[in-house]
Amino acid sequence: MVSLVNTVYSIRLSSNANPLRNQRLAPKPSCVSLNRRRLVVRATETDTEKVGAKAPDKAPAGSGSSINQILGIKGAKQETDKWKIRVQLTKPVTWPPLVWGVVCGAAASGNFHWTLEDVAKAVVCMIMSGPCLTGYTQTINDWYDREIDAINEPYRPIPSGAISEDEVITQIWVLLLGGLGLAGLLDVWAGHNFPVIFYLALGGSLLSYIYSAPPLKLKQNGWIGNFALGASYISLPWWAGQALFGTLTPDIIVLTLLYSIAGLGIAIVNDFKSVEGDRKMGLQSLPVAFGSETAKWICVGAIDITQISVAGYLLGLGKPLYASALLGLIVPQVFFQFKYFLKDPVKYDVKYQASAQPFLILGLLVTALATSH
């Protein structure tokens, strides 16, 4: 849910913004000076390159897509329209996993009905988890990663100066408070005595902050950071959807946290393109710590072994049809791993994610339906 967000299914699900990795910041939002000025970031350890005070006139070679710009992925067209830049910072390409997580939670509750009220509740929960809290997560992540992006992707809105410091900080607060406000509204709407959705949203927002911001900056550790991201994209939105329509049970909490190991694998996908900047900034992503070849196999292993284990769990519950369906959805994922990702995780990251991840997402719904109470 949430950024919960990441409520959680960012964890980076695009080449540039996989649900599962893009999230960052530097001083606390409340401590940042609100002097109206353009942000200028100098690429660390580089004497010859300076990111100017205004956006470059041209995007990097091979880029320039308006669609990529609005989705918040690489190859984006350079924009001067502030609202388009604001949308780009929220990386809409990372919203669908969170939205789908809410669907899975609603399905697992066993209490969702196709009535106007239930659909309206679900839509509000999706807006909270996707545009608001995932948007908050992605914006704060880009803020704290501005120095790394100045090395890896200097044309991104913040390091290029396309949006001012004041505007970024304002966006962070508006999205955060908007998401928390919707969470409180959902608790009232659902008649909760304890505001479980609000606290899930609050916890997910705190997780997003410590993932990106010092001194903890969880993303500095490839294992902890990627698991936190995976949990944000898988567990949190599921929990929010299930709590909204039913009861969040301990077995579902454990199952979704274990499923988040697959989210860890998804998050690693986006680490390969940032190796140079991560190494210079001292971030121990798995490709930096283990090398790209080993990290590739850790990535696919985390995704495949997790799903196979969940299929075994469903079989143990006496639900062989659901277990077989989940196993069937793993097969095309493995095919695309060999076809794209294992060949070149940087060149084919977008193709791999677009091809393989829909089957992972469908597997989540199969699991949710199998565990429906």
pLDDT digits (tens, 9 = 90+) for 159-209: 999 999 999 999 999 999 999 999 999 999 999 999 999 999 999 999 999
pLDDT digits (tens, 9 = 90+) for 222-244: 899 989 988 998 999 999 999 99
pLDDT at site 4: 40
**Any idea what the Cα angle at residue 204 is, between residues 8 and 275, rounded to 5°?**
65
Mean pLDDT of 259-279: 88
Q: Is residue 3 part of a domain?
A: no
Please give the Cα distance from 279 to 357 (Å, whole number).
28
Q: Contact at 8 Å (CB) between 239 and 253?
A: yes
HSE of 294, CA atoms in CB hemisphere, 13 A: 7
Q: Contact at 8 Å (CB) between 136 and 179?
A: yes
Q: How far from chain centre, in Å, is Cα 353?
A: 13
Q: Is residue 42 over pLDDT 90?
A: no
Query: If you average pLDDT over every residue of the chain, what do you get?
Result: 84
Q: Is residue 14 part of a domain?
A: no
Q: Is residue 13 part of a domain?
A: no
Distances (CA, A) of 337 to 296, 342, 364: 10, 6, 19
pLDDT at site 77: 82
294: domain range? 29-370
Q: Is residue 21 part of a domain?
A: no
**pLDDT class of 345 with cuts at 50, 70, 90:** very high
Q: Is residue 258 part of a domain?
A: yes
Residue of 259, 373, 359 lying closest to 309 (CA atoms): 259
Q: Is residue 48 part of a domain?
A: yes
**Any idea what the Cα angle at residue 334 is, between residues 2 and 340, rounded to 5°?**
90
Q: Is residue 319 over pLDDT 50?
A: yes
pLDDT digits (tens, 9 = 90+) for 96-136: 989 999 999 999 999 999 999 999 999 999 999 999 999 99
pLDDT at site 305: 97
Q: Is residue 10 part of a domain?
A: no
Domain total for the chain?
Answer: 1
pLDDT digits (tens, 9 = 90+) for 52-106: 334 344 454 444 688 888 888 777 888 888 999 999 999 998 899 899 999 999 9
Q: Is residue 273 part of a domain?
A: yes
Lowest-confidence region among 10-24, 122-136, 242-256 = 10-24
